[in-house]
Amino acid sequence: MQAGLTPDQIISKISYYQLVKMIRHLTAVSNNEEKWTRKKLVLLVVFIFIIGFLIGWFSRCYFFPCSWAKTSLTVSAVPESQVRGQTVTFAGALGGEDIANKTILLHVTNPSGAVIKTFNATTNNDGFYSYSCVIPADCLPGKYTGVASYETLTAQANFFVKLAAPQEHGK
């Protein structure tokens, strides 16, 4: 091309086919760059979201442990088989947050379902509690149930009352 030509003169010398081909080439390059830029932007936003979620989740677990955990209650009766007039111990745990010095209501029901004893146990700093009670001498033999309650939670443990301790037979 000759020097000093204006852009209009240059365009007039280029065929229509060449002009369309150049425009398509330039558009394709810019579309590919735009697509790549969009991909990078989407990946960056997803990455920031994931990092933010992980930081929030770990900081919640670190600074506020177990705040998302549900409260739970357990109880067991030791020993599971007992003789009238002896002691049975109820032990259990309250799980969750803020579990120290909570009052657990315990009641014992006889085989017919009637409540024969009611008492309170207090949790220690770790949420554990225990309470020992003497089985009345006039209790009927059978399956007894110890029920622990705290707010809306309940747990139960069974134990059996026998008439007398098994006798050992000599030789």
What residues does each domain of the chain span? 7-63, 72-162
Q: Which residues are CB-neighbours of 142 under 8 A, at least 6 positions away?
A: 110, 111, 160, 161
Do residues 54 and 87 make contact, with C-beta atoms less than 8 angstroms apart?
no
Residue 105: predicted pLDDT: 93
Q: Which residue has the higher pLDDT, 120 or 56?
A: 120
pLDDT band at 169 (very low <50, low <70, confident <90, very high): low
Q: 18-22, 39-43, 65-69, 129-133: which range is least confident on average?
A: 65-69
As a whole-number percent, the residues of the chain with pLDDT over 90 amount to: 16
Q: Which CATH number fits domain 72-162: 3.30.300.30, 1.10.8.350, 2.60.40.1930, 3.40.50.450?
A: 2.60.40.1930
Q: Which residue has the higher pLDDT, 137 or 23?
A: 137
Give yes or no for residue 151 having a pLDDT over 80. Answer: yes
Task: Tell me how long the chain is.
Answer: 171
Give yes or no for residue 170 having a pLDDT over 80. Answer: no
Q: 37-41, 114-118, 140-144, 157-161: which range is least confident on average?
A: 37-41
Alpha-carbon gap, residue 33 to 45, rounded angstroms = 18
Q: For 45-97, write each residue's pLDDT tens digit.
A: 888 888 878 777 776 666 655 545 567 888 988 887 778 888 889 999 988 77
Residue 137: predicted pLDDT: 82
Residue 50: predicted pLDDT: 86
Compute the average pLDDT of residues 126-154. Answer: 88
Phi, psi of 72, rounded to the nearest 5 degrees: -135, 160
pTM for this prediction: 0.54
Q: Considering the chain, what is the average pLDDT of its residues?
A: 79
